[in-house]
Amino acid sequence: MTTTTAPAVSTTSAVRTETLTFARAITEGLRAALEDDDHVMLMGEDIGRLGGVFRVTDGLQKDFGEDRVVDTPLAESGILGTAIGLALRGYRPVCEIQFDGFVFPAYDQITTQLAKLRYRSRGRLEVPVVVRIPYGGGIGAVEHHSESPEALFAHTAGLRVVSPSTPQDAYDMIRAAVASADPVLYFEPKGRYWSKGEVTLGGPVDAAGLDGARVARAGTDVTIVAYGPTVATALRAADALAAEGTSAEVVDLRTVSPIDVPTVVASVRRTGRCVVVHEAPSFLGAGAEVAARVTEECFHSLEAPVLRVAGFHAPYPVAKLEHEYLPSVDRVLDAVDRALAY
């Protein structure tokens, strides 16, 4: 039994606008997905009765039942592997990995199976599984609770890797991820769970919701590329730059696989300078790919090399030091200054 894209129209909820936290926007997106298609199901540790350690699935088991919002055994590989089996039977599982640092037991199933089943079967098998992963730091946590492993997955063909930066995108992109026929790793910036924003809910799923970077702020002097938790950092840096007379354009990539190179390139052709900001380590991170592509495609437009502001090549540090590790507004300003000095 195979299915393709889920029905486009959400028949049960009218379009409305509310102010929601980032986390709650995901909850409502999951609710809409569960309402739209009775083959959608959620699975993960503590997502049912507890509603998830971040309460993202709060209330959903009560409303949709234990067969559709499933508390799983404590076994990430088992969660992913059984989700693959459920998907092969025609279901659309949305897995929750409790924290970024605990995704690794599932890494084998994600990279050797989930990513490859369509290719292996020459398109006959479909595994529309979504894997939700809270990621990123800034919450004062112990080891393994603040990581950014997205590049480790984006490097594997067959997976889509996305990360919303606003509550609206969180809502739209989780619905689009569930509707996608491809496996999607949906990285949720946990440091932003409690940020609030206007969210328009209801209506049909935007089929293009998983595609395309977004210009979060228009500018002329430098392009700051970011995704997930660092979009807010980039916007604060842009505010600081504006006060100094520098106009920064902020591009929210929204997706790490694929990367919307044309949108970045169009921006850098105008500004001539590019700074990429992400929490993941600089070495072999997503910023390296952006830098390579921008250099290849806008070489003659560049006034300065592409610079990256990112984490260090060390395991994520202790909580008392994490603010020295994470890309700060100051470090972004420093990189922009260096780019402008060329």
Shortest CB 158 distance to another protein, Å: 6
Q: Tell the smallest beta-carbon distance from residue 291 to another protein (Å).
A: 16
Residue 223 contacts another protein per CB under 8 A: no
What φ, ψ does residue 16 adopt, rounded to 5°? Answer: -155, 160
Side-chain half-sphere exposure of 155, counting CA atoms within 13 A:
11
Say if strands 16-21 and 196-201 run parallel, antiparallel, or are unpaired.
Answer: antiparallel
Our finding on whether 225 is near another protein (CB under 8 A) is no
Instruction: Out of 39, 145, 278, 313, pick the active-site residue.
Output: 145
What is the number of other CB atoms lying within 10 angstroms of the CB of residue 335?
Answer: 22
Minimum separation from the CB atom of position 82 to another protein (A):
3
The rounded Cα 181 to chain-centroid distance in angstroms is 17
What is residue 312's three-state secondary structure?
A: coil
CB of 55 to another protein, least distance (A): 25
| Site membership for another protein, residue 8 (CB under 8 A) | no
Looking at beta carbons only, is 70 or 336 nearer to another protein? 70
DSSP 3-state of 286 = helix
Residue selected from 8, 15, 50, 75 as contacting another protein according to rule CB under 8 A: 75
List the structure tokens of 48.
């049912």
Q: Among 257, 272, 286, 308, indicate the residue that binds another protein (CB under 8 A).
A: 257
Stretch that binds another protein, among 46-54, 176-184, 196-204, 318-326 (CB under 8 A): 176-184
Residue 118 found at the interface with another protein (CB under 8 A): yes
The answer to whether 322 and 137 have CB atoms below 8 angstroms apart is: yes
Cα–Cα distance for residue pair 232/273, rounded to 1 Å: 20
Task: Show the tokens assigned to 78.
Answer: 């088992």
- Residues contacting another protein: total by CB under 8 A: 50
Binds another protein (CB under 8 A): choice among 124, 245, 314, 320 = 124
- Helix or strand or coil: residue 58? coil
d(CA 331, CA 237): 9
Least Å distance between CB 297 and another protein? 10
Say whether the peptide bond before residue 204 is cis (omega within 30 degrees of 0). Answer: no
Burial of 11 (0-12, 13-18, 19+ CB in 10 A): exposed
Task: Name the segment binding another protein (CB under 8 A); options: 75-83, 142-150, 192-200, 318-326.
Answer: 75-83
Is residue 267 involved in binding another protein (CB under 8 A)? Answer: no
Can 145 be counted among the known catalytic residues?
A: yes
77 binds another protein (CB under 8 A): yes
Active site members? 145
Interface with another protein (CB under 8 A): 1-2, 4, 41, 67, 72-73, 75, 77-78, 80-91, 105, 108-109, 112-113, 116, 118-126, 157-158, 160, 180-182, 211, 257-262
